[in-house]
Amino acid sequence: MPAKKLTHFDTSNRPRMVDVGAKGVTVRVAVAEAIVRFPPEVAAALRAGGLRSPKGPVIDTAIIAGTMAAKRTHELIPFCHPLAIERCKLAADFVSDTELAIRCEVALTHKTGVEMEALTGASVAALTVYDMCKALSHAIVIERVRLVEKSGGKRLVKAGKVVSEGRGRTR
């Protein structure tokens, strides 16, 4: 198997945006997750207050912020292509007494993937939760921001691991 190399460098080792012109158009989907860990008393207060903080509805605000961020990823990360996202879905649920999991799913039909958009959406949603809740505690921790799944390109990723390599389905 040939050694993997970084794709954002040209033959002179200068940074560049990847040329996707020859790639096939496929349906591409990516799911990312961020975990926000609260001190037990803060998690209990949030649940008791209907997931509202002194700044307002925590989850609803995080969903809006994450969606806005996913759509503007190319403005934040230099070599990301500007994309016409067809779907961006965020959800947040407590997965333990103190951990809130934020998932961001992004999809489109294009020549390039949307994992950076999903990761950006989940990250900014988590940052928004922190901002909305920091009046309650600065001991809130954002952790485990990761790609959970992606499909439609050369690699199929599930549970953060490459499960197959090959070509995505073209349209």
Please give the positions annotated as active site: 131
Residue 166, Cα to own-chain centre: how many angstroms? 23
Q: Which two tokens stand for residue 5?
A: 């190399």
Q: Which two tokens stand for residue 20?
A: 């996707």
Q: What are phi and psi of 62, to 5 degrees?
A: -65, -40
Contacts (Cβ under 8 Å, ≥6 apart) of 152: 26, 27, 28, 29, 113, 168, 169
Return the closest-CA partner of residue 32 out of 94, 122, 111.
122
- CA dihedral angle for residue 141, residue 147, residue 149, residue 151, rounded to 10 degrees: 150
Q: How many CB atoms lie within 10 A of CB 129?
A: 27
